[in-house]
Amino acid sequence: MPQLPEKIHELTVGQLSARSGAAVSALHFYESKGLISSRRTSGNQRRYTRDTLRRVAFVRAAQRVGIPLATIREALAELPEERTPTRADWARLSEAWRSELDARIDQLNRLRDHLTDCIGCGCLSLATCVLSNPDDVFGERGAGSRLMREERGPRAHS
């Protein structure tokens, strides 16, 4: 990983990319979503403060565990004066996100278990399939496939 002399206080997008491991396009995307910010030089080139490295690391770590970018942006916006997240910030936020992640893990485990059942029978019946008809909500409307007809609307016969 390239090292920067201490006297350099701003990074180009290429330097930030090399140091953070994030693609330049990802950094531009993060900036467009308000996750990081830069200033523009007179030649319209982006310059990032060194602490942007920590913000990028924070965003990437949160993304790896499945936190949506909108949630990450909200968390960063809560920091006073848009300061860089600290270890204490990460601990507080990760604890708050833990129950949401646990719920998603439980949901994915249930889906995985039902997918195995579905592969075994292959029916995809709207009357009984827990994947295409959770809690049998369509069974109350009668037998047969109803989703395709309802999504398309009544078919005109020619």
Please provide the size of the chain in residues.
158
* Residue 2 banded pLDDT, cuts 50, 70, 90: low
* Threshold 0.85, pTM exceeds: no
* pLDDT of res. 27: 97
Contact 35, 76 (CB under 8 A): yes
Closest to 30 (Cα-Cα) out of 42, 43, 45, 20: 20
What percent of the chain is predicted at pLDDT more than 90? 37
Q: CA-CA distance, 19 to 12, in Å (whole number)?
A: 11
16-34, pLDDT tens digit by residue?
999 999 999 999 999 999 9
Is 93's pLDDT higher than 60? yes
Is 43's pLDDT higher than 80? yes
Tell me how far CA of residue 158 lies from CA of 146, 151, 155, in angstroms. Answer: 22, 20, 9
Please give the angle made by the CA atoms of 31, 87 and 69, to the nearest 5 degrees: 30
Is 65's pLDDT higher than 90? no
* pLDDT of res. 158: 44
